[in-house]
Structure 1
Amino acid sequence: MGDPRILYITGWMRSGSTLLGNVLGELPGVLHAGELHYLWRNGVLNAGTNSSCGCGRDLTACDVWSSVLGADGTAQAGAARRMAILQRFLLRTRHTRARLTEAQGRRPTAPGVVEAVGRTAAVYRALAASGGERLIVDGSKYPAEAAALLGRTDLDVRVLHMVRDPRATAFSYKNAKEYIDPMSPARSSGYWSAFNLASELVGGAAPERYLRVRHEDLCDRPREVVERVMRFAGLAGEPPVDETGLVSLRENHTVTGNPDRLSKGDTRIRSDERWRTALSAREIAAATAPALPVLTRYGYPLLPTR
């Protein structure tokens, strides 16, 4: 077996990464790990929400993850606390430029980064031996982590940058959900711009290992977009979704992510346009203003139709 192949999804939250990961996970030898960044805090320490495995069990009771994490709960907890600290201080979006500089060999990699990303690489190797021999999909969406992973010589990392209209993501964050806190439209779009601009930095540093797709295109042309992502990730074969967006989902082993990851059976990829009428004109304006630096570059209009 060669180096594990990783499709690391980056961009802002609520972009459709969970659904796309689950679709790819229907392919033989592909394992969708969900938002692996939260394995330590949510899964092992149980300190966050939405912390069960996609199979419905507690993470430490899941056959896949209990094998990956090992049986020593005390050691797991200590390592998990250490990982959560390293992630907080070294792998936030604001650290993207520094991690890229290290990955490109223009300055020595900080010891804490070596430790954190090395631990993640070890998890990837274990997952490659547990069903992800062709590809592991990691939907963590931290551009700095993607940048650090690109510097590893023992991993084959491809970065998929997913974007969605910032007004749609602002609508998703408007009301509290069990697994996410509410956020104002302006704040949501501020994060939207920061995460997407940081993701572009990663793409500029490694253009041959970077692909950007829009959520709206995935909904409009699901089979075409899934096939394009497959080819980018080095996967041959037919996409597991038809022209209408219908896909049959089985049990998965995702860490954190949209609770839709728990759904099984026939699912159709479809667009959610409720934001166009559910957001007020003032809320749409508030969500638009912080996104102006890249809004039209991604093909989104300044004045959306209602």
Structure 2
Amino acid sequence: MSRPRVLYVTGWMRSGSTLLGNVLGELPGVLHVGELHYLWRNGVLNLGTNSTCGCGRDLRACDIWSAVLAANGTAEPAAARAMVGQQRALLRTRHTRRRLAESLGKAPRAPEVDEAVGRTAEIYRLLAGHGGERLIVDGSKYPAEAAALLGRSDLDVRVLHMVRDARATALSYARAKDYIDPMSPSRSSGYWTAFNLASELIGRAAPDRYLRVRHEDLCRAPREVLTEVLRFAGLADDPPVGESGRVNLGANHTVTGNPDRLAKGDTRIRPDERWRTQLPAPRIAAATMTALPMLARYGYRLLPNAKEG
């Protein structure tokens, strides 16, 4: 049996992984599964919000997920709680360096790590028979999990690091939503910095299995960026997006993630620069200062009135 091919998206939240995954999921044999990391916490234990499947049904009532969970042996609460506990203990952002060392053979891997990522690998193998024959897109965005999965010989994992301007993500976190709590600009940018630095560790350790793209570039030139991502993922398809950036989205089977994952029909990919006018100047300053100097490293201009080229 061939190894499941996985495109694991990492980086900070609100960076466009839902949009990218749903677009790729329109291709035959490509399955976008949303944030698979939360399958057990939200889908089985119902401890989070926004836990329905992208198809609109309760996750455990979805034909695909009910079958996959049953076959994986983690549909029962006790097994799901054990998985969530291992994720918290072993796969947090601060564990990225250690998980990379293990994947590169520079440190022995703890049995608990093998057990946790082994369950995830088994989910991937099952999903390869439910629409993910050519590629599974996992938008979980946990750098340590990506690092641990890279060490699996039974998987073909490529890591896509998505970056978005820290001020744009700060605006997204400024107000409470049904599925996320509000966050100050400085705190949001602090997480932005930590997640992106951890993701860069993967790029330095495994450059041939790592690609970084910016949300803004995806929105300005969707066909070009999506083509680059597809080639990186090992697919020769043309992206299912018109020259105007329009795509017709169908149903998907995503776990958790941005509620936009539920959107269907004609969708246009276009830039979103609302932070420049909707985020007050003191909040822009707080988000900018906390994210220095990585904003400049990713090509973002520091002044809000200086639009990206």
Q: Normalising by structure 2, what TM-score?
A: 0.97
Equivalent pair of 1:193/1:293 in contact (CA under 8 Å): no
Letter in 2 for 1:274: R
The whole-number CA distance in structure 1 between the counterparts of 2:4 and 2:74 is: 28
The yes-or-no answer on 1:109 pairing with 2:109 is yes
Residue 274 of structure 1: how far off its partner (Å): 1.2
Q: Which segment is superposed worse, 15-24 or 296-305?
A: 296-305
Distance 2:28 2:73 in 1: 31
Alignment match, 1:69: 69
Please, what is the CA RMSD of the aligned residues?
1.3
Query: Which residue in the other structure is 1:44 paired with?
Result: 44
- Per-residue CA deviations over 1:86-137 (Å, capped at 9, x if unaligned) read 0111100000000001001111101111110000000000000111010000
Which secondary structure state, in structure 2, belongs to the residue aligned with residue 7 of structure 1? strand
Q: Distance in 2 between matches of 1:282 and 1:140?
A: 31
Structure 1 residues 158 and 120: CA distance shift in structure 2, 3 A? same
Runs of 4+ in 1 over 4 A off after TM superposition: 71-75
Unaligned runs of 5+ in 2: none
> Size of the alignment, in residue pairs?
306
| Cross-structure match for 1:31 | 31
% identity of equivalent residues:
76
Partner of 2:3: 3
The answer to whether residue 173 in structure 2 is matched with residue 173 in structure 1 is yes
- In 1, distance between residues paired with 2:3 and 2:10? 21
* Partner Cα separation in structure 2 for residue 99 and residue 38 of structure 1: 19
1:1-306, aligned counterparts within 5 Å? 1-70=1-70, 76-305=76-305
Find the aligned partners of 2:208 and 2:73 in 1 and give their Cα distance. Answer: 40
One-letter code of the match for 2:149? L
Q: TM-score of the superposition, structure 1-length normalised?
A: 0.98
Structure 1 residues 75, 30: CA separation in 2 closer, same or farther (over 3 Å shift)? closer
| DSSP 3-state at the match of 1:65 | helix
Contiguous gaps of at least 5 residues in structure 1: none
Q: Is the 8 Å Cα contact of residues 72 and 123 (structure 2) preserved in structure 1?
A: no
- Look up the equivalent residue of 1:164 and give its one-letter code: R
CA distance in 2, matches of 1:287, 1:75: 41
- Given residue 123 of structure 1, which amino acid in structure 2 is its aligned partner? I
**Are the aligned partners of 1:30 and 1:136 in contact in 2 as well (CA < 8 Å)?**
yes
Amino acid across the alignment from 1:191: Y
